[in-house]
Structure 1
Amino acid sequence: MTLTMTVLFPWLAGFFGLLLGSLYTVCVHRYLTGEPMSLSSLVHSVCPQCSHPLRRGDAIPVLGYLLLRGRCRHCRRPIGIRYPLLELASCLWAASVAVQFGPSPQWIVLMAEGGILIVASSIDVERYLLPDMLTLPGAGVAIAASMLVMGMSPVQVLGGSAVGGGLFWLLQRGYRMITGTVGIGTGDVKLMLMLGAMSGLAGLPVLITVAAVAALLVHALVSLLGGRYALHAMIPFGPFLSFGGMVQVLWGGQIEIMLS
């Protein structure tokens, strides 16, 4: 790969990630509202509150939200911070994967897997739900892609998926037996089938550690800002597992060296 492409591709990938992020917001909104997906809904952006079509300039990822100050030009109701956050997450993921893997089949695979994780995590934040329609196909894609494209051994891929999912299934059962309440959802178990295949068996410690530390930090911050009522607030674990998986895929090797 030429030096020009090495420098340019992450920027192009980040821009493409912004565009994909805009599509992800549509997917999340349509799932949450139960509205059917259509080609028109993906091409023509509308206000999520009043359904008025947005101007082309207003639909520019992130920038449009900032220019409108987070409110629809027509109904003046809040659009929601979810939209620019998803677009930024998609942008950062696309650019980061581009830096690590360049223009390659690996980049394409990880973009698809990252898209599933971003959409599923956003739904989990809103509904405390990780849809089977995302996690189970995602697991199948991750298993096949990790072996055929990422060059991981079947033992690492299948072992990571089985151990990751199995471990969280045991944690789910154990927590329910001890407390009588649900601490880990079945969706998290299914998500770990996908993330375990992406990270491999050897990558599970980094994935789980990063996810746990991130969740603890966010919970501490929420408790600090929200007082004692926020201390017992439910925080979905799916986004943190996804974050841990993404960090492991990008920098897992470096983290293992640092900790060794």
Structure 2
Amino acid sequence: MLETTVVEILAVFIFGALVGSFLNVCAYRLPKEESVIRPGSRCPHCKSPIKWYDNIPILSFLWLRGRCRNCGGQISWRYPLVELITALLSVAVYLRFGLTPAYLGFFFLVAALWVASLIDLEHQIIPDEISLIGILVGLAFSLYNPLTTPTDALLGALCGAGGLYLLAEFYYFFTKREGLGGGDLKLLAMIGAFLGVKSLIPVVFLASLVGAVIGIALALWQKAKDKRTFAIPFGPFLSLGAVVYLFFAPYLKPFFPWL
């Protein structure tokens, strides 16, 4: 049994690293509205195609010491880091749900949240290719989802987008400033489709709490003139709230009794 578990953990780690390599492509190309399929991976400096043996997640970067084999250009540490974190997320989902349909569904969710956060942090957008496809996958997955029902998933998607929209309108009414973007609305709809309607308040609360703390800290650190208008992307905090809920929902029940 122990040997089987170790083999399974190694397998989901490798699978996660491979997915992480694809997420690097998505994070680089989706904001540019480029295909994530063609052309194949290329060096960001000399544009030469990367051979398959130089594109093995994590290992190739270490073997080549973070440089292109062709031109010697420096490759960012971000690439193996994204692959490693995705691999660890894959293992975490496996330990929570085992090798079940739930593993596949929820690993899709955390991978989508991870790449959406990377893009939002760098470009302040969340591509529809992630959130809209994610909503459809979440609704289809509800047939096998141990945490929700199809009705709950549909309500989660509708209330996720609608509730955040009302919150954004409420914020604009009092401040006359845009507080949330359309990408955030669709991202929360995706989260609701996977985690159900009851998850929305805890997810938004956690996202707002952590976002406020980090936002104030960054505003002070960067010495922003107006702390109230200092803006940071909200997508990564929604993603963090969703991941915390996915893994630790039972521990949140004292604060949110309906869970």
Interval containing the TM-score (normalised by the shorter chain):
0.7 to 0.9
Which residue in 1 is equivalent to 2:32?
33
**Mapping 1:98-247, distance limit 5 Å:** 98-150=94-146, 152-223=148-219, 225-228=221-224, 233-247=230-244
Secondary structure of the residue that 1:228 maps to in structure 2? coil
Deviates more, 1:97-106 or 1:244-253: 244-253
Secondary structure of the residue that 2:232 maps to in structure 1? coil
Unaligned runs of 5+ in 1: none
Structure 2 CA distance for aligned equivalents of residues 9 and 229 of structure 1: 52
Are the aligned partners of 1:89 and 1:118 in contact in 2 as well (CA < 8 Å)? no
- CA deviations 1:124-180 (Å, max 9, x no partner) are 222211122221121121122124333623443233222222221011112222222
Deviates more, 1:229-238 or 1:153-162: 229-238
Which residue in 2 is equivalent to 1:248?
245
Which residue in 1 is equivalent to 2:3?
4
Structure 2 CA distance for aligned equivalents of residues 226 and 73 of structure 1: 39
Residues 65 and 235 of structure 1: is their aligned pair in 2 closer, same or farther, counting only changes over 3 Å? farther
User: What count of residue pairs does the alignment treat as equivalent?
Assistant: 256
Structure 1 CA distance for aligned equivalents of residues 255 and 5 of structure 2: 26
Structure 2 CA distance for aligned equivalents of residues 62 and 124 of structure 1: 24
Are the aligned partners of 1:10 and 1:96 in contact in 2 as well (CA < 8 Å)? no
CA RMSD in angstroms comes to: 2.9
Residues 148 and 4 of structure 1: is their aligned pair in 2 closer, same or farther, counting only changes over 3 Å? same
Secondary structure of the residue that 1:148 maps to in structure 2? coil
Which residue in 1 is equivalent to 2:48?
52
Structure 2 CA distance for aligned equivalents of residues 11 and 220 of structure 1: 40
Shift of 1:56: 5.5
Secondary structure of the residue that 1:92 maps to in structure 2? helix
Are the aligned partners of 2:147 and 2:196 in contact in 1 as well (CA < 8 Å)? no
Letter aligned with residue 37 of structure 2: S
Structure 2 CA distance for aligned equivalents of residues 229 and 256 of structure 1: 39
Structure 2 CA distance for aligned equivalents of residues 69 and 176 of structure 1: 49
Percent identical pairs in the alignment equals: 34
Residues 257 and 60 of structure 1: is their aligned pair in 2 closer, same or farther, counting only changes over 3 Å? farther
Structure 2 CA distance for aligned equivalents of residues 64 and 244 of structure 1: 33
Unaligned runs of 5+ in 2: none
Question: Which has a greater percent of helix?
Answer: 1
Deviates more, 1:93-102 or 1:59-68: 59-68
Deviates more, 1:105-114 or 1:52-61: 52-61
Q: TM-score, normalised by structure 2?
A: 0.83
Is 1:21 the equivalent of 2:17? no
Deviates more, 1:234-243 or 1:155-164: 155-164
Structure 1 CA distance for aligned equivalents of residues 121 and 240 of structure 2: 13
Are the aligned partners of 1:9 and 1:102 in contact in 2 as well (CA < 8 Å)? no
Structure 2 CA distance for aligned equivalents of residues 237 and 134 of structure 1: 16
Structure 2 CA distance for aligned equivalents of residues 117 and 95 of structure 1: 16
Deviates more, 1:13-22 or 1:170-179: 170-179
Which residue in 2 is equivalent to 1:95?
91
